[in-house]
Structures are given as C-alpha cells and as structure tokens.
Amino acid sequence: MARPRSAAEKNDPEADRRPSLVDDAYAAMKQAIQDSTFAPGYQASEQEIALRLGMSRTPVHEAIIRLQEDGLVRVLSRRGILILALAPEDMREIYDVIIALEGRAAEMLAGLPDAEREAVAAELAGHTQDMAEAWDAGDLPAWGQADARFHRTLVERAGNGRMNRIIQTINDQSHRARMLTLKLRRELGASVAEHRDIIEAIRLGDPDQAQACAYHHRLRARNELLPLLESFGLKHL
C-alpha cells in the first residue's frame, strides 16, 4: 500500500516529478562520468555539479548517493564529491567477476528451450554484426557500444536478476576504462569470431561449450588489457 502523501508533499508542485528528476540526474551524472566529462579525480560540491548539469540540488544529492553505492563517486565530508578512478588491480578484480558471471550466463542460455535459444542467439548475432561493421569502418566508439550491448544482452537474457544487477554495477565501473583503452588493444577483431562461437554454442544447446567459449573470450580480453595498462603506465583510469 502506498504511503499517504504529507501536507507538504501535496503542496509541493515537484513532488510527483521528484523520482523522475532523480533518475534524470543519476543518468546525466553517470553519462558524464563514463565519457570523462567528469574525469577521474574531479572534485566538486553538489551545487557545482547541479549547476553544470542545469539541475536543482535536491535530485543531484539523491543521485550522488546512488552513484556512491555504484562505486563511481565518493562523498567527502564538507568537501563535495570525488569522481573515483580505476587502477589496473581494480580492472583485474572486475574481470574476475565478469569471467565468472558471463560464463554462467552463457551456460544458462544454452539450456533454454529451442525457441528461446534461437531468439537470444539472433539478438546476440545482431549485436555482433554491428561490431563487425564498426570494425570494418574503423569506428571504435561504435564497436565499443555494440560490444557492450552484446555482453549486456548475454547476462540480461539469462533471467537472473541478481546476476544482472551485479554485472550492471561492474560494467558501469569499467566502461570508462574500456573505452579509453580501445585504441591500445590489438585484438579487437578476434572478439567478433569469439562472439560467434558463443552464439553457436547457445544455438546448439551446448551449455558446457557455451560456458567455455564465454570464459575464454573474457579471459583473453583480460590477459590482453592488463599488460597494456602496465606497459603504457596507465595507473589510473
């Protein structure tokens, strides 16, 4: 049963819009963090953030609380907020989680009934084709976006809400680092073939093969990325 509205809320013209305003502030801040408009190490007051976003302070304050729970910012007592950076060791831990969860997700998808497997495989194939076309065109941002859609779909369609929430938080934390390092990575083209191997295993209903393909795909990406971070001296992302 919904909580009765207080007299103050009844007289507040923004009360009905407040959840939407908070969602808008949350989405705007997350996007600014991911595209480095708010770069790692950036520190600002809530009022400064609100002014930069063209929003009022109350929804920005509530959005900041959510972003701190996501591990994207840290609230500093009387000093505003700090946009958190990632270190190579953070990326190692993030990939450990991704490798485990996506392998299990692929295994679950391969165990679905035939019609559901085919629908998921077709959706994943569409994202993979977008990747291939972006790679041929040399459009790295589009490649990264299509790759993110593939991996998001892989977990979402497995139907485990807890897995999905965990992977979403992990992806939010690692997105900026992945996009910043795309130009450094030399094996992006291999991802298309590996995605197609995962799709084929799902389509054939082979859980063990689907899990193995997903596991080795992410393991290879991790083993390529982490040495690059070290060799280029990228200590914070």
139: phi > 0 → left, psi -120 to 50 → alpha, else beta; which? beta
Structural domain boundaries of the chain?
A: 16-83, 88-231
Write out pLDDT tens, residues 198-214. 999 999 999 999 999 99
Q: Residue 57: name the closest of 45, 67, 75, 39 by CA.
A: 45
Top-confidence range, 21-30, 65-74, 193-202: 193-202
Write out pLDDT tens, residues 142-188. Answer: 998 899 999 999 999 999 999 999 998 888 777 777 776 777 776 77
Could you give the angle at the alpha carbon of 31 between the alpha carbons of 76 and 138, nearest 5°?
Answer: 135
Does CATH place domain 16-83 in 1.10.10.10? yes
Question: What is the pLDDT averaged over residues 111-115?
Answer: 97
pTM score, whole prediction = 0.73
Confidence label for 2 from pLDDT (cuts 50, 70 and 90): very low
Query: Fold match between 16-83 and 88-231?
Result: no
List the CATH code of the domain at 88-231: 1.20.120.530
Is the pLDDT score of 234 beyond 80?
no
